[in-house]
Amino acid sequence: MPSFDIVSKVDPQTLDNAINTAQKELATRYDLRDTKGGIELDKKGNVITLSSENSMRVRALEDILLARVVKQGIDGTALDFTAEEQASGALVKKIVKVRAGVDKDAGRKIIKAIKDSKIKVEAQMQDDQIRVTAKKIDDLQAVIALLRRADMGQPLQFVNMK
């Protein structure tokens, strides 16, 4: 039976390139030139730390980061800006999580959208991905088209088409 997997991942090298260009822009921008802190990537934890003297500059760092990430071809919804800012000493820090994998809530939403479409496919959650199987490849392609049109709150990739 033909099948494919729905995953949500970000290429770590592309993300690293986006962070590096954002750091270069931060060093050259006139309004942010003499600021303490900056943009740091924790590759193991898959988080980005933004830090500066006040929350206005942290929001400017968010804008720079988002612009560079989108320019590198990464979907902007892959970054989770919902965490609140935290003051630590003289700096204000904000943790931005990089979404990797389809979480349980998004998985349920995707599976519900597939079942509501009445396409003759079977979708099942497997760890941080969703496997979709069908008898015909045309049904699988219809599911891909359906999910590309829908907004699921995070970027989706379709891999392992067999």
Domains of the chain by residue range: 3-8+101-159, 12-98
Q: Is the dihedral of CA 56, 57, 62, 66 positive or negative?
A: positive
What pLDDT, on the 0 to 100 scale, is given for residue 37? 80
Structure tokens that stand for 106 in this block: 């998004």
CA distance 33 to 48: 20
CATH 1.20.200.10 correct for 12-98? no
Report the CATH architecture of 3-8+101-159.
Answer: 2-Layer Sandwich (3.30)
In angstroms, the Cα distances linking 68 to 14, 16, 25, 119 are 10, 11, 9, 38
Q: Does the pLDDT at position 14 exceed 80?
A: yes
pLDDT digits (tens, 9 = 90+) for 105-151: 888 888 999 999 898 999 899 888 999 999 989 888 999 999 988 88
Q: How confident is the model at residue 18 (pLDDT cuts 50, 70, 90)?
A: very high
Query: Given this chain, do its domains 3-8+101-159 and 12-98 carry the same CATH topology?
Result: yes
Report the interhelical angle of 55-71 vs 12-28 (nearest 10°): 130
What pLDDT, on the 0 to 100 scale, is given for residue 30? 83
Strands 91-98 and 79-80, bridge-based pairing: antiparallel
What pLDDT, on the 0 to 100 scale, is given for residue 85? 80
pLDDT top residue among 35 and 133: 133
pLDDT top residue among 48 and 33: 48
CA distance 125 to 145: 19
What pLDDT, on the 0 to 100 scale, is given for residue 88? 73
Burial level of 23, CB count in 10 A (0-12/13-18/19+)? middle
Count the neighbouring beta carbons within 10 Å of the beta carbon of residue 73. Answer: 10
**Max Cα distance, the chain (Å):** 61
In sequence order, which residues have a C-beta less than 8 Å from that of residue 59 and are 6 or more positions away? none
What pLDDT, on the 0 to 100 scale, is given for residue 73? 92
Q: Does the pLDDT at position 32 exceed 80?
A: no
What pLDDT, on the 0 to 100 scale, is given for residue 154? 84
| pTM, to two decimals | 0.81
pLDDT digits (tens, 9 = 90+) for 83-109: 888 877 788 889 999 988 888 888 888
pLDDT digits (tens, 9 = 90+) for 48-84: 999 988 888 889 899 999 999 999 999 888 898 888 8
